[in-house]
Chains A and B, each alone.
Chain A
Amino acid sequence: MAERKSIEETKTALHDVVREMYDRIVKGEPPTMTLPVRTKNNIGFDAKLGVYKYGRKQTIRDATSLGSAKQLLRALHVIEFIESMIDDGKSSTLREMYYISEGWGLGKFQSQNESNNLAEDLEIVTRCLREDFKLRPEEDGARMIGNLTLRERNRRGEWMRINARDDVGDSGYGVPYNVEAEKIEFLEHDVNFIMAIETGGMFDRLVENGFDEDFKCALLHLKGQPARSTRRIMKRMSEEWDLPVVVFLDGDPWSFRIFASIAYGAIKTAHISEYLATPTSTYLGITADDILAYDLPSDDLSKKDIEALNAELSDPRFADGWWQEQINMMLEVGKKAEQQSLAKYGLDFVTETYLPEKLQALGL
């Protein structure tokens, strides 16, 4: 289980990575870095944690090709950079690190994606969190509205008490990138469940219609594929307050993936699934049968959509019967629909008819 590590533990873990490379060279072998395979073929369900984690498959990145040798060199630069931040009591964003790498010569990153991936690689290998590495994401956290009270430590180090309904404007409470206990504490709430919503348009519709008050729930805007902090705060709220989470997304293959990353863990971050995933969350819609049942305006599946659906069929996270049925149904119908297509029946249809019906079916 990923846990916060002390400074010393973090440094030792990083040095182990360096040591692997060094020792190989001394032995007259090409330097290497060993890490788990990060594809859907190497994730398995961890019954104890209730989420998907990386399996035993290991990949050895060795310096026999230019690409992986450069990766190793970059890893060394990143480790050096992290150590210097730890020593200086600084932190940086991943994007800043990407720009700082400009000065690393041969070890420089070609794209931001590369630096993000490498930070994740190091998390996986060292079993540390990027917070331990003093690296922050650029990503924008979610926003939240509902009768929840929490306290957040501001940059002056003072605790601020915030009610996510009464103390915020229409845009809601902005979730910071760090949502760990040192930054946020949950105080009290008066809601029955949390509803995570994919699009801003739908979030605003529910806010305007007063859905959170009518149905005693908290609304959370995911902003597409949710950031780590968004998934982490959902996880904490559902665990610490024992609240059910329902997820309301578009009805397309990509939304299915968003749900999987919320409920079961994302493939990319399977090393910390237990820390980010909310296994108790439920997919509310749009389902493939909703498209038919509500006769929603829809678009034909594109070639890429179909490829994605087929890939999902063999994804262990979608192995259960309900998902197989949904995916196959979507492939059969050949259609996808957006959340906001519900507006076909008027602006209030979603809050007055669709959601109440769906929530009732879930027993909420």
Chain B
Amino acid sequence: MSIAEKMAANQKQVAISEFFEKNKHFLGFDTLNRALITAVKEAVDNALDACEEARILPDIIVKISKLDNKKDILQVEVEDNGPGIPRASIAKVFGQLLFGSRFHAIRQSRGQQGIGITGVVMYSQLTTGDPTHVESKIAKEATAVSVDIGLDTRKNKAIKSNQDRIDWGEKVHGLRIRTTMKAKYQRGRQSVWQYLRMTSIVNPHADILFIDPDGEKHHWQRVTERLPGRVEAIKPHPKGIELGQLQRLCSESTESRMTTFLRRTFSGVSQRAAKELCEVSELEEKLKPKSLSAQQVRALLEAFQGERQLKGKSVKLLNPPTSCLSPIEELLIKKGLSKTIDSKFVTTMTRAPSVAQGNPFQVEVGLIFGEGMTADKPVEILRFANRVPLMYQQGGCLLTKAIESVDWRQYGLDQAGGRGVPKGPAAILVHLASTNVQFTSEAKEALSDNETVMEEARKAMLEMGRGLRKHLEKQKKMGKTKEKFELINDIIPAIAEKSASLLELPVPDLAASITKIMSAVIAETTTTWNKATKQTDVHITLYNYTSRARSYTMLVNWPERQGASMVNNNLGGRKEAMGVWAWKLETLQPGVQTVISYSLADLEKGDWNETDVFYRGSQEVIGATKMDEKLLEEIRRQEEALNAPLPEDDEPLDVNESSDDESVDESEPNAPPSDTMQTTLFGGDY
């Protein structure tokens, strides 16, 4: 079976067409502007999901043209290079509402957020009476299918017309949709442009071309060839299940024993837990799940939720695996932000996966700061759920609240009273990846409150804030170092010369004055991309402006974990810890400079723009930070933890006696301990 066919086979159907007509207001079609964004969003989200599943780097073209100005009739065309949809499935995909694998599989996907492409077909038909034109080509067929899709909204069925086969020339696979609708094209914060811009930030692997109604082209290029990690569907977790769902799972089960059923149907249930669950819900282990009465199902659910307890404790469950999540990851967020917003400093933070109410989730944040953005306005907030931009209801969204809960003043942004959206030349990105994104309403534009998620998001913000503060402090320090250099290299010699000439005396020797003025060792660091070698060159120049010889150990951070390698290291040195390199410099003579230089290979441009330099030694080094040995210890400890052999899958975690809520927060044993996933070790205080 081809990928396309497999995907289609997963689809199940739900009849709900009529529902749409009555409820289009909260399905994203309430205003003419929003209807357009929703239409583009449904098509693009599908394209990205399909490409991701089929492991294809997406090329997406969106074109909007005006058909009838007076009546606000627009034509929307979306084309992708995805796997295409087999002929037999086209009618189902486009003609039945709430049709799709995403409602049944537990994993992170974009599509779960929308009513689906069928909504677009329906909206088009309702506002213009026209069907939607679909062309689809799958790799194993020589020609593409071309068909017009209309809807029988009462029967929840597609009406196909003008079916044909056409030649697509070079293009091997993909999907083209062309639909007309009553809609308005607007610019600004809530626009197709903004949606695509945001989409491109969190999908750095996608190439998106947008042609607006004026014919202007907006092109967001692919900045990485790396596809998002493959996400696996996971079994539901007992904590995240509802009664109806549990009933269905029981009645559809073919297992012959409750314990096997529990272990095989759910994630996080060990053999011991399965037995204990049966015990507390007063079910025979040998019972057939199919035979459970409504009463018994309810008892089981109570056991799941910890309402039924064994010796005063709820049954211990493991956390669900987090392999079902696909974070964007820090380097890629960095790239995504950098390509769309032209600014200097980017800091990102991907938290370790966590679990809330049985649902795995993961928070990622990014912050871009610098010139080119307005300094006296609130920062731009870029919210995403499962890589889908959220563009409405910013104020009511959990992610916004997480930003607002941080006192940004301590990190260098303006914020009245230390609450609310901060002001400054910055944009903050927040991404929630989860198998079950909870929205405040059907409109699916704002995430609803959840303490666990909020706390994770807040922690991520704090970490990122520290990164920003560190950057600003460093900027300041670098500015000071630069000033010192100007002082001793230019100004003092000029004063000496001018005063000598006015007094008609010889120019005095400056060395002693300069040493007095500087009385420090100075480190100047540059990190630059070398076009020719495709490497990142780092130079650290040390000047000893004190009156005696000094000895130091200099240390740097470098992206070892991101797969970089260190080459052309002139002074050798040694590895101090994961991502930390050190050089011992025995003697720095007064008035002499020493250069450490090396290059980082196996990185792309923009991956590494700033190197942090640390020192060990008694006298301060301007331009470097004193090494915090505790921090280094921490890095080493986590490195060990990462390399340690992992416990067996089915063994319950040896959690200390604690409340049930806390044990939920423990990670699955086959995922690394949560802290080792944090990569901004240098973002902390020291």
Contact = CB atoms under 8 A, between A and B. Distances in A.
Interface string B329-370: 000000000000000000000000000000000000000000
Contact of B503 (A19, A65, A69): A19
B500 A22 contact: yes
Contact of B516 (A28, A72, A76): A28
A79 B501 CA distance: 12
Contacts of B516: 28-30
Contacts of A25: 492, 495-496, 499, 508, 510, 513
A80 B496 contact: no
A63 B493 CA distance: 11
B602 interface: no
B487 A69 contact: yes
Contacts of A29: 512-513, 516
B491 A69 contact: yes
Contact of B495 (A21, A28, A65, A80): A21
A73 B495 contact: yes
Interface string A20-51: 01101110111100000000000000000000
A63 B245 CA distance: 77
B512 to A, nearest CB: 3
Interface class of chain A by DSSP:
helix
Interface class of chain B by DSSP:
helix
B634 interface: no
B503 to A, nearest CB: 6
A151 interface: no
A18 interface: yes
B490 interface: yes
Contact of A66 (B487, B495, B498, B502): B487
A63 B495 contact: yes
A31 B510 CA distance: 11
Given A29-B516, A31-B495, A66 B508 contact: no
A161 interface: no
Contact of A63 (B492, B503, B505, B512): B492
Given A28-B512, A31-B513, A66-B484, A15 B502 contact: yes
A314 interface: no
Nearest to A105: B494
Contact of A76 (B487, B490, B498): B498
Contacts of A83: 502
A293 interface: no
Nearest to B507: A25
A106 B490 CA distance: 8
A223 B510 CA distance: 49
A18 to B, nearest CB: 5
Given A66-B486, A69-B487, A73-B494, A22 B499 contact: yes
Interface string B469-513: 000000000000001101100111011101110110100101011
B502 A69 contact: no
Nearest to A19: B503
B494 A21 contact: no
B517 interface: yes
A73 B508 contact: no
A70 interface: yes
Contact of B508 (A19, A22, A105): A22
A65 B513 contact: no
A interface bracket (residues with beta carbon within 8 Å of B): 20 to 34
Contacts of B495: 21, 25, 31, 63, 69, 72-73, 76
Contact of A77 (B498, B508, B510): B498
A80 B503 CA distance: 10
Contact of A106 (B491, B500, B503): B491
Contacts of B496: 22, 25, 31
A65 B487 contact: yes
Given A22-B505, A25-B513, A31 B487 contact: no
B177 to A, nearest CB: 59
A11 to B, nearest CB: 10
A64 interface: yes
Contact of A21 (B484, B499, B515): B499
Contacts of B483: 65-66
A225 B104 CA distance: 79
A80 B513 CA distance: 23
A73 B491 contact: yes
Contacts of B508: 22, 25-26
A15 B502 CA distance: 8
A107 interface: yes
A64 B492 CA distance: 9
Nearest to B515: A28
Contacts of B500: 22
Residue in B490, B492, B495 with the greatest tally of chain A CB atoms within 10 Å: B495
B11 to A, nearest CB: 66
A15 B505 CA distance: 12
Residue in B487, B499, B510, B513 with the greatest tally of chain A CB atoms within 10 Å: B499
Interface in B427-451: none
B502 A80 contact: yes
A293 B98 CA distance: 80
Contacts of B513: 24-25, 28-31, 63
Given A25-B513, A30-B513, A63-B517, A76 B491 contact: no
Contacts of A106: 490-491, 494
Given A22-B505, A66-B483, A66-B487, A30 B517 contact: yes
A339 B119 CA distance: 72
Contacts of B510: 25
Interface string A106-119: 11000000000000
Interface in B503-558: 503, 505, 508, 510, 512-513, 515-517
Contacts of A70: 491
Contacts of A72: 495
A45 B492 CA distance: 39
A64 B508 CA distance: 18
Contacts of A19: 503
A76 B502 contact: yes
Given A15-B503, A18-B503, A19-B503, A107 B517 contact: no
Nearest to A62: B517
Interface string B251-282: 00000000000000000000000000000000
Contacts of B502: 15, 18, 76, 79-80, 83
A5 B404 CA distance: 66
Interface string A94-137: 00000000000111000000000000000000000000000000
B155 to A, nearest CB: 70
Interface in B182-239: none
A21 B500 CA distance: 10
A21 B494 CA distance: 12
9 contacts: A15-B502, A28-B516, A30-B513, A63-B487, A66-B483, A66-B484, A69-B491, A69-B495, A73-B498
Given A22-B496, A25-B510, A66-B486, 18 more contacts: A15-B503, A25-B495, A25-B508, A26-B508, A29-B516, A30-B492, A63-B492, A64-B517, A65-B487, A66-B483, A69-B495, A73-B491, A73-B495, A73-B498, A79-B502, A83-B502, A105-B494, A106-B491
